[in-house]
Amino acid sequence: MVEKEKTKEEILNIVNEILNSYNQPFNLDNLAILNTKKGISFLANVKIYDDSFTKKVSNDLESKLKKYGKVNINSKFIKPCCEPPFNNISFEVVLAS
């Protein structure tokens, strides 16, 4: 349990460092943890308001998080009615066994 919390905090710190390096207006506060028979996964979504940073943030996330295990990243453009459009980057880190 302690190792899972430590890994969660490390991943949060890495993600927030990446977001800060691209001057994004928020930090990630939490990760979802999914426990399955296959192992433990950490999941989260981040909003990127400047489209020119989407690919860079995705690449940085993948390169810096792969030390924990398999990384799956998807992005999708969102145009909500009541806030500026953004790219939603969702990621999953599946811990290596």
The answer to whether 39 and 92 have CB atoms below 8 angstroms apart is: no
Domains and CATH numbers, the chain: 2-95 (3.30.980.50)
Give the residue from 93, 21, 11, 16 showing the smallest Cα distance to 53. 21
- pLDDT of 84 higher than 70: yes
- pLDDT of 2 higher than 90: no
The answer to whether 46 and 29 have CB atoms below 8 angstroms apart is: no
What does pTM read for this prediction? 0.90
Beta partners for 89?
46, 75
- pLDDT of 72 higher than 90: yes
Mean pLDDT is lowest, of 30-39, 48-57, 72-81, for 30-39
- pLDDT of 57 higher than 90: yes
What SS3 state is found at 46?
strand
Mean pLDDT is lowest, of 13-17, 33-37, 86-90, for 33-37
How far apart, in whole angstroms, are the C-alpha atoms of residue 7 and residue 35?
14
Give backbone dihedrals phi and psi of 38, rounded to 5 degrees, phi first: -80, -15
Q: What's the full length of the chain, in residues?
A: 97
